[in-house]
Structures are given as structure tokens and as C-alpha cells.
């Protein structure tokens, strides 16, 4: 882990959140350090993108949808910290 404190970094790394025990500090670090949140609401993917690191995983034969309460909980959590960057 970097010696950088949670309050001084621009780009967030998972390990920088792992050591935070104060939920407010973790929320603040997330809000400042995460520029885009990508939410995958279904599992189907043809895995044909040339850059895909998961091309060997079968995600064609079935499609699992994210439960709506999970999706809404993610949005509620982002709203609760005032997250105002990109959500895709």
C-alpha cells in the first residue's frame, strides 16, 4: 500500500479504502477518488471485444439479471455520499 493518506490521493486504489475504519472517511475518499461507477445489470456478454480479460468465461449460455433492490441500493448509497460523477 502507498504511504499516501486517504485524504490526499486523486485516483483511488482498493487498498486505500481497505484500511479506513471511519465510514465518513471512506465515503469521502470514494467520492473524490472514483471518477466512474459502472453497474452491470445483466450477465450476458458475447465476450468478443479484443481487449476483454474475461474472454474465457461463459456468459453467453445464460443471462442473470441484477435484482432491482440491489440496483436501487447502489444508487441510494451513491446518492447518500453526494456522488456526482459518471454512472454507466
CB 16 within 8 A of CB 1: yes
**Per-chain mean pLDDT for the chain:** 80
Select the more confidently predicted residue: 46 or 24: 24
Q: What is the pTM (predicted TM-score) of this model?
A: 0.67
For Cα atoms 80, 82, 86, give the angle at the middle one, nearest 5 degrees: 115
Burial 3-22 (b: 16+ CB within 10 A, else e): eeebeeeeebeeebbeebee
Domain borders along the chain are: 14-87
User: Which of these ranges, 9-18, 38-47, 63-72, has the smallest mean pLDDT?
Assistant: 9-18
Taking residues 37-56, what's their average pLDDT? 78
The neighbour count for residue 29, using CB atoms within 10 Å, is 20
CA distance 88 to 13: 19
pLDDT at 20: 80
Amino acid at each position: 500500500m502507498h504511504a499516501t493518506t486517504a485524504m490526499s490521493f486523486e485516483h483511488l486504489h482498493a487498498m486505500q479504502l481497505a484500511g479506513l475504519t471511519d465510514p465518513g472517511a471512506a465515503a469521502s475518499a470514494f467520492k473524490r477518488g472514483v471518477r466512474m461507477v459502472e453497474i452491470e445489470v445483466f450477465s450476458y456478454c458475447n465476450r468478443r471485444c479484443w481487449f476483454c480479460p474475461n474472454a474465457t468465461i461463459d456468459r453467453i449460455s445464460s443471462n442473470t439479471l441484477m435484482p432491482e433492490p440491489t440496483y436501487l441500493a447502489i444508487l441510494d448509497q451513491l446518492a447518500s455520499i453526494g456522488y456526482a460523477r459518471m454512472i454507466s
